[in-house]
Homo-oligomer: A and B are copies of this chain.
Amino acid sequence: MSYNLKIMRTIKALQKFQHAIVAVDTVIFCVAENKLKILLIEMKRAPYTGKWAIPGGLVMPDESLEESVVRHLKTKTGLSGFYFEQLHAFGKVDRDYRGRVVSVAFLSLLSSDQVNLKTSADYADIKWFDVNRVPKLAYDHKEILATALLRLRARIGHTNVIGGLLPDKFTLSELQQAYELILGKTLDKRNFRKKILATKMLVETKEKFIGSFRPAVLYKFKDKKIKEVNIL
């Protein structure tokens, strides 16, 4: 596979034309094992061999930014059908050693039941990391991750995006745990339940989650569409 080589040749060629080209990168969050996690890939080719990075790639002329996100994630991670939204464009001159690439970063939320990673020949490895324990990242991906975390924290207070992190049906305790992991602080159970139910975003199902202890009512989101709601 000479995909990376091809990219490097392309970028070199572009230098002649004196213009920046576009890539997309997607910060993918997931809640699992009581942790907020992010998906990273380990790169194979020089000059980034062994470095971890947020998955992404160059944008082709016949695809929109969103189509490019879908294509890269499908081919590099095997994932599809997830929610994502645009985060920010990163355009420092030296952010990629190989040439002038402006990256439009996206923020994506995945429920743990959607996780079904495929490995790719182009990458050494692909893994979930606790957001509090990420390895050294390539390019300016540390900055992108920091921006994504800030955005995520702000968004869950004003929209129903958090639905993307949960399975179809979930208990209020699971939902509260997701909020607590993202916000990095504990919330009062009674106040949380009052506020969440007051938003009318959720509907009670007839089912219950049967664990070792008292069964919990399962809820689902009334509407999968992302909308503005005052929550916290």
Could you list which residues of chain A lie within 8 angstroms of chain B, going by C-beta atoms?
Answer: 10, 13-15, 17-22, 58-66, 68, 86, 88-89, 91-93, 99-100, 102, 104
Besides A19-B61, A65-B89, A86-B89, 15 other CB < 8 A contacts? A10-B17, A10-B19, A13-B17, A18-B60, A18-B61, A19-B58, A19-B60, A21-B21, A22-B22, A22-B102, A62-B93, A65-B102, A68-B91, A86-B88, A89-B104
Task: Report the minimal beta-carbon distance from A106 to chain B, rounded to whole angstroms.
Answer: 10
Contacts A13-B17, A17-B10, A102-B59 given; indicate if A22 touches B64 (C-beta within 8 A): no
Give chain B residues whose Cβ lies under 8 Å from the Cβ of A13.
17
Contacts A65-B89, A89-B89, A89-B104 given; indicate if A59 touches B19 (C-beta within 8 A): yes
Once the chains are docked, how many angstroms separate the CA of A63 from the CA of B93?
A: 6
Give chain B residues whose Cβ lies under 8 Å from the Cβ of A58.
19-20
A59 touching B20, Cβ below 8 Å: yes
A65 touching B86, Cβ below 8 Å: no
- Residue of B at shortest CB range from A99? B61
Once the chains are docked, how many angstroms separate the CA of A92 from the CA of B10?
A: 22
Give chain B residues whose Cβ lies under 8 Å from the Cβ of A63.
93
